[in-house]
Amino acid sequence: MKLLKLDKDKDLRLKSRPMAKILIIHGPNLNLLGSREPDVYGSKTLDSINKSLVQEGKKLEHQLFCFQSNSEQQLIEKIQQAPNDEIAFIIINPAAFTHYSIALRDALLAVAVPFIEVHLSNIFKREPFRHHSYFSDIALGVISGFGDRSYLLALEEAHHYLLATE
């Protein structure tokens, strides 16, 4: 009986919890997913990946915003805007910028919004220049190598983090 009551209280707490806003950022060339090197990045389009994420986010009671750009400037501006937009968490695949953008790294440090770095491919199995990331040491964690599932795994961890820090 007592257990039942506890579960009910937990349900009520979950229902009254405000939705967290989570920003998904995709870097350059990820707009080409589906046709871009499908043997490396899989056959799903960015649109279908985003749709699955938004759907999964809803189930977890979060509001997801997806953004892709090929331009470093636009990505930086989006990150700078995150605190004003009340973004609680960022999931980012910086794509090629992973390996050389100090400016994007600095933007994430400046806003101090917790984030997870995501890659579809396992960057450590690939060319040596992909082994270094300007983000991994400042990210909560890195998920790399699970195709489109990398994003879903990141969302699950973001949810876990948000619950734990509520």
What does the binding site for ligand DQA look like in residue numbers (CB under 6 A)? 29, 93, 95-96, 98, 119-121, 123, 130
In whole angstroms, how close is the CB of 131 to ligand DQA at the nearest point?
9
In whole angstroms, how close is the CB of 123 to ligand DQA at the nearest point?
5
In whole angstroms, how close is the CB of 66 to ligand DQA at the nearest point?
15
Give the residue with the Cβ less far from ligand DQA, 52 or 63: 52
Q: Is 132 one of the annotated active-site residues of the chain?
A: no
Q: What single-letter DSSP state applies at residue 141?
A: E
Helix ranges (H only) for 17-139 are 38-41, 46-59, 72-81, 102-111
The answer to whether 141 touches 165, Cβ cutoff 8 Å, is no
Q: Is 119 one of the annotated active-site residues of the chain?
A: yes
What gap in Å lies between CA 45 and CA 48, rounded to an integer? 5
Kindly name the residue from 62, 119, 134, 151 that is annotated as catalytic: 119
The answer to whether 116 touches 48, Cβ cutoff 8 Å, is no
H helices, E strands: number in the chain = 6, 5
What gap in Å lies between CA 33 and CA 113, rounded to an integer? 27
Give the residue with the Cβ less far from ligand DQA, 32 or 112: 32
Kindly name the residue from 41, 62, 151, 159 that is annotated as catalytic: 41
Name the maximum alpha-carbon separation found in the chain.
59
Q: CB under 8 Å to 19, separation ≥6 — which residues?
A: 61, 62, 63
Give the residue with the Cβ less far from ligand DQA, 91 or 162: 91
In whole angstroms, how close is the CB of 88 to ligand DQA at the nearest point?
23
Give the residue with the Cβ less far from ligand DQA, 20 or 121: 121
Show which residues are catalytic: 41, 119
